[in-house]
Amino acid sequence: MNRPAPQASRHTPPDTDLALVVEEPGRAAVRPVPATDGPVTVRTRYTGLSAGTELSFLTGTNPALTSSFDPELGLFRTDRPGAGYPVERLGYMEVAEVTEAPEGLGFAVGDTVAMTYGHRTGYRADPLRDRIVPVPPDLDPLLGIYVAHMGPICANGLLHAAVEEIGRDVRSLGDGVRGRRVAVVGVEGQVDDGALRPQEAQRERQGGAAPPALEHQVRAPVARSAPPARLERHRHVAPVRVERGQPQAFRGRPAQRRRIE
pLDDT value at residue 65: 93
Output the CA–CA distances (angstroms, integers) from residue 139 to 36, 113, 143, in the order listed.
Answer: 28, 11, 7
**pTM of the predicted protein model:** 0.62
Low-confidence ranges of the chain (pLDDT < 70): 1-12, 181-261
pLDDT value at residue 58: 94
80, 63 in Cβ contact below 8 A? no
Give the integer Cα–Cα distance in Å for 191 and 184. Answer: 16
pLDDT value at residue 4: 53
Query: 198 Cβ partners below 8 Å, 6+ apart?
Result: 184, 218, 219, 220, 234, 237, 238, 239
- According to the CATH classification, is domain 2-137 in 3.90.180.10? yes
pLDDT value at residue 229: 65
Q: What is the domain partition of the chain in residue ranges? A: 2-137, 149-180, 182-238
pLDDT value at residue 202: 46
Query: 228 Cβ partners below 8 Å, 6+ apart?
Result: none
pLDDT value at residue 258: 40
pLDDT value at residue 48: 92
Paired residues of 20 in beta bridges = 30
